[in-house]
Amino acid sequence: MDKLKITGGRALEGEVRVSGAKNAALPIMCAALLSAKPLALTNVPRLRDVSTMAKLLAQMGVTVNRQEAKTVLHAKEITEPTAAYELVKTMRASVLVLGPLLARCGEAKVSLPGGCAIGARPVDQHVKGLQAMGATISIEHGYMQASASRLRGARIVMDLVTVTGTENLMMAAALAEGETLLENAAREPEVVDLARCLIAMGAKIEGAGSDQIRIRGVPSLGGAEHRVMPDRIETGTYLAAAAAAGGKIRLTGTAPESLDATLDKLREAGARIEIHGSSIDLEIARRPGAVSVRTAPYPAFATDMQAQFMALACVADGTALITETIFENRFMHAIELQRLGADIRLEGNTAVVKGVERLQGAAVMATDLRASAGLVIAGLVAEGQTVIDRIYHLDRGYEALEGKLTALGARVERIK
């Protein structure tokens, strides 16, 4: 199993280009299921999760053709509307095929995702919404068995804000008969990017980006070309890394408007940030100040940035409170950060992090994708060597991580 060896203690300096957003690419790839015509995508990141989704779609009869810059998905015919446990268990976003399959084929068999390292993560809201649209869904042998001759539009009030839940229902509603109103919808930029792609395919959608999305169903969707939005979490991760390690970096190809909460917090930590079009410059000349964060649905501070900000807090001047409100078990990185010498006390869903002057390199274990990113940041700051085990988590969501960090002057090496 690959490991990542980081020799810390060097400030970051240089320029890198961010990739397309994983969390936009995955639902958009599923949108291809809604049409018999090809969907051509650019800016699709090269990530393990993207190949997993391609494999999942291929099992259903979708041809996925990835060339240099373009990925074309063609669901001319769906031969097998099934998502098997073997793939679903490795990537929860697989549940995004449920809505599109049901809308296009009138049936779907999708494995329940099961637990994951960061908590229970149920899919009850996805199921409830599809049932409101007329689907019959039963659980058989660990699979959701869904059927509907044609989905009907409905008014759906979601009990809580769910990103993939909103996306699943929006895709299903695009082909339903009549109008669907999604209330308490997720406002994440990735939901907006998916809506943009669906609209290009001929869907009638209004309000994406607000908590009320109106979808008028159409009988069929066509083909389209779409450019996947930049990854705001990847962007935020490199910015947090530079804020922790010190230095001056430029990120290009970003979507700065999707990063307000993160940029505000980095400024609060003492970083100077300048935006020129799609580039973000960050410079920090002193030890970062402690900043507290509380995760919540967009536009508030993202749970996917929590681990990175905990790492930043570990070396900041002062004490920060890191509060996680989205997932119940998303502090596993705290234990690993303590191995590097961090002073962290867990109190329920809050971590009290007292910044220390220096961390010390050690062997640590990655537990999930964003937790690993937090460990990488800590490793960049720590004295000596940090070896991160189980970096397959990082490969799920960070394209060319070592290459990009090296371009920023960090000393990182993948050990096979």
Question: Active-site positions?
Answer: 116
Single out the residue of 58, 139, 157, 160 in contact with ligand UD1 (rule: CB under 6 A): 160
- Those residues whose C-beta lies under 8 Å from the C-beta of residue 134, and which sit 6 or more positions away, are 148, 150, 151, 152, 154
Which range touches ligand UD1 (CB under 6 A), out of 116-124, 149-157, 265-273, 312-320?
A: 116-124
b/e for 1-12, b at 16 or more Cβ within 10 A? Answer: eebbbbbbbbbb
**Minimum CB distance to ligand UD1 smaller for 166 or for 254:** 166
| Closest approach of ligand UD1 to the CB of residue 303, in Å | 5
Bridge partner residues of 364 (DSSP): 388
Number of amino acids touching ligand UD1 (CB under 6 A): 22
| Closest approach of ligand UD1 to the CB of residue 39, in Å | 18
Q: Binding of ligand UD1 at residue 390 (CB under 6 A)?
A: no
Interior angle at CA 293, CA 10 and CA 158, nearest 5: 130
Which range touches ligand UD1 (CB under 6 A), out of 31-39, 155-163, 340-348, 371-379?
A: 155-163
b/e for 380-406, b at 16 or more Cβ within 10 A? Answer: bbbeebbbbbbbebbbbbbbebbebbe
**Beta 70-74 vs 63-66: how paired, if at all?**
antiparallel
Stretch 298-337 residues interacting with ligand UD1 (CB under 6 A): 303-304, 326-327
Q: How many CA atoms lie within 13 A of 402 on its CB side?
A: 15
Q: What does R_g of the chain's alpha carbons equal in angstroms?
A: 21
**Minimum CB distance to ligand UD1 smaller for 143 or for 327:** 327
Instruction: Write each residue from 274 to 303 as x if it is in contact with ligand UD1 (CB under 6 A), else as -, in one continuous string.
Output: -----------------------------x
Q: Binding of ligand UD1 at residue 162 (CB under 6 A)?
A: yes
Stretch 74-93 residues interacting with ligand UD1 (CB under 6 A): 92-93
- Those residues whose C-beta lies under 8 Å from the C-beta of residue 264, and which sit 6 or more positions away, are none
Evaluated on CA atoms 357, 362, 364, 369, the torsion sign reads positive
| Closest approach of ligand UD1 to the CB of residue 68, in Å | 25
| Closest approach of ligand UD1 to the CB of residue 26, in Å | 5
**Minimum CB distance to ligand UD1 smaller for 129 or for 341:** 129
**Beta 12-17 vs 343-347: how paired, if at all?**
unpaired
Which range touches ligand UD1 (CB under 6 A), out of 132-140, 158-166, 215-223, 336-344?
A: 158-166
**Minimum CB distance to ligand UD1 smaller for 304 or for 399:** 304
Stretch 213-242 residues interacting with ligand UD1 (CB under 6 A): none
Q: Retrieve residue 29's tokens.
A: 């790839």
| Closest approach of ligand UD1 to the CB of residue 154, in Å | 16
Amino acid, single-letter form, for residue 219: P
| Closest approach of ligand UD1 to the CB of residue 416, in Å | 28
**Minimum CB distance to ligand UD1 smaller for 37 or for 121:** 121
DSSP 343: E
Residue 276: C-alpha distances to residues 30, 152, 194, 240, 280 (Å):
33, 45, 26, 19, 7
- DSSP line for 133-190: TT-EEEEETTEEEEE-SS-B--EEE-SS--HHHHHHHHHHHHTSBSEEEEES----HH
**Minimum CB distance to ligand UD1 smaller for 23 or for 386:** 23
Spatial separation of the C-alpha atoms in residues 198 and 80, rounded to whole Å = 23
**Beta 3-7 vs 179-183: how paired, if at all?**
unpaired
Stretch 177-206 residues interacting with ligand UD1 (CB under 6 A): 190
| Closest approach of ligand UD1 to the CB of residue 235, in Å | 14
Instruction: Write each residue from 1 to 40 as x if it is in contact with ligand UD1 (CB under 6 A), else as -, in one continuous string.
Output: ----------------------x--x--------------
Evaluated on CA atoms 309, 312, 314, 318, the torsion sign reads negative
Q: Binding of ligand UD1 at residue 126 (CB under 6 A)?
A: yes
| Closest approach of ligand UD1 to the CB of residue 231, in Å | 11
- Those residues whose C-beta lies under 8 Å from the C-beta of residue 335, and which sit 6 or more positions away, are none
Q: Binding of ligand UD1 at residue 135 (CB under 6 A)?
A: no
Single out the residue of 3, 5, 10, 121 in contact with ligand UD1 (rule: CB under 6 A): 121
Could you list the residues that contact ligand UD1 (CB under 6 A)? 23, 26, 92-93, 119-126, 160, 162-165, 190, 303-304, 326-327
